[in-house]
Amino acid sequence: MPRLPSPVIFVPGIMGSVLRDQYPVDPETVWSPLKLLIKSYQRITQHPSDVRYELIEPARVNADQVFALVYGEIIAEMRHNLTPQANLPVPVYPFAYDWRQPLQLVEADLATFVDEVIDRTKLLRHYRKAGYGSKDFPAKVNLVGHSMGGLIIAGYLETAGSRKVEKVATIASPFRGSLEAVAKVVTGVGMLGESPSSSRDREAARVTPALYYLLPSFKDAVTAKDGLSDDLFVPDTWQPGVIQTLASFIRMYGIGEGAPQERARELLKSMLDAAWKHRTRIEKLKLSDSKMWLSIVGLDEDTRVAMRIVKREGKPWFELGDARNDWREGTIFTGDNTVPYLGARASFIPTEEVVCVIPKDFGFSEIKDKLLERTGFHSALPNMNLVQRLVVSHLKGEKYGEIWGRPTPDLGSKKWDPPIADLRPG
């Protein structure tokens, strides 16, 4: 029997799962990135007294399915290309999750799902025949994540270890954050979602815990003038409007005692503290073998790489700055239009093992310009044929099709040594 890869779990990025309200007898979709009219901001906004639940009760909003336009193809390609022959399917499970929630809650759900996938795989006759669960074929899964999905995987591994994980592949994950998370919270505009800016979008973002997990913490991401703090994980660093929005929610919907302004500050602090705790956890992640992890990073697109905090009327004011791309000069000031290169770098993956791709790596048949115009490079990366072949090659442990990649722009004198052996430089 041909060697069977471990089953795969695919973890999408933020806003990559449809949300449905299960409270109505006939459940209702309340947020979908595909059906632009189905975006009920008030129904997906979280409650200021308990951000695990919705602002408007009674409700029970849960994840329904992953967003097929962005993720359907990579899931289908993995199912097809990892399978050694048609009667020996390799299971690839999408992991839809509530992308609004604190990542620690999502990671706990992922841990439960890993166990479920392992148990389900043991019921497949061809896996049982191959000895899945034995000493020679341990009961493990492969994890593949896009964008915030990579942070969830890293947090899961930091907590649970790699005992149940064979290999990992992440695509465009902001391990050290993105300026677009700041833009989304402050203005409602950002490349993290496809919807146009609106005050409803901005207000919902400010009470969405998961967004704060994407704040930038890489070197020189933030500079502050006039003695202001440059630490985005501290409430007093933020523009007053953020706390004002939270205070308004508390006045209208809050439960409990105390001045709305002070309670709003405490709410913001609790979300920032949880996000910072998670960031420090994944910074401390240690892998027994770093080559179990394929980190794919997108470059050569205009990307916000830095911001300034200045005073306006005596209060902090964010100047988010223009996007820039200096890839051709070989500098680090580039990215995938959403995640800057430095935001995509992880402490637990050596620089020489990172694999970079750029827009011109799209094949002719992929209708590059139309795809990029519609979704942006960051969102388009999972649909890129090269990226799919890189992921499949990593999980199979052998090259699949024609593949190549690029070293990081700051590799210097180090030798490029990606997890896929003999990978051709692009």
Cβ atoms < 10 Å from Cβ of 81: 17
pLDDT of residue 329: 73
pLDDT for residue 40: 76
Residues whose CB falls within 8 Å of the CB of residue 275, separated by 6 or more in sequence, listed in order? 209, 212, 213, 215, 233
Q: Give the residues across from 340 on adjacent strands.
A: 335
CA angle (196 as vertex; 194, 197 as ends), nearest 5? 125
Which residues of the chain carry a pLDDT beneath 50?
A: 37, 192-197
Q: What is the pLDDT of residue 321?
A: 87
- The label of the residue with tokens 């011109």 reads 360
pLDDT of residue 328: 75
In this prediction, residue 406 carries a pLDDT of 95
| Structure tokens that stand for 237 in this block | 């660093």
Residue at 92: amino acid letter = V
Q: What is the pLDDT of residue 386?
A: 96
The pLDDT value recorded for residue 197 is 46
Question: What's the rounded Cα separation, in Å, for the pair 320 and 306?
Answer: 7
Region label for 178, one of left (φ > 0), alpha (ψ between -120 and 50) or beta (otherwise):
beta
Q: Check residue 198 and give its pLDDT.
A: 56
Between CA 29 and CA 132 the distance in angstroms is 38
Q: What is the pLDDT of residue 363?
A: 74
**Cα→Cα distances 381→88, 370, 411, Å:** 28, 13, 22
The whole-angstrom separation of Cα 3 and Cα 82 is 10
Q: By C-alpha distance, which of 143, 161, 189, 104 is closest to 8?
A: 143
Amino acid identity for residue 211 in this structure:
L
Q: What is the pLDDT of residue 193?
A: 46
Q: What is the pLDDT of residue 365?
A: 59
Spell out the long-range contacts of 370-378 with Cβ–Cβ below 8 A and sequence spacing 24 or more: 375/69, 375/70, 375/194, 376/191, 376/301, 376/337, 376/338, 377/298, 377/301, 377/336, 377/337, 377/338, 378/147, 378/172, 378/191, 378/298, 378/301, 378/336, 378/337, 378/338, 378/339
**Rg (alpha carbons) of the chain, rounded to whole number:** 22
Number of residues in the chain: 426
Q: Which two tokens stand for residue 377?
A: 């490079």
How do strand 165-171 and strand 293-298 relate by DSSP bridges? parallel
CA separation for the pair 292, 178 (Å, rounded): 25
Burial of 349 (0-12, 13-18, 19+ CB in 10 A): buried
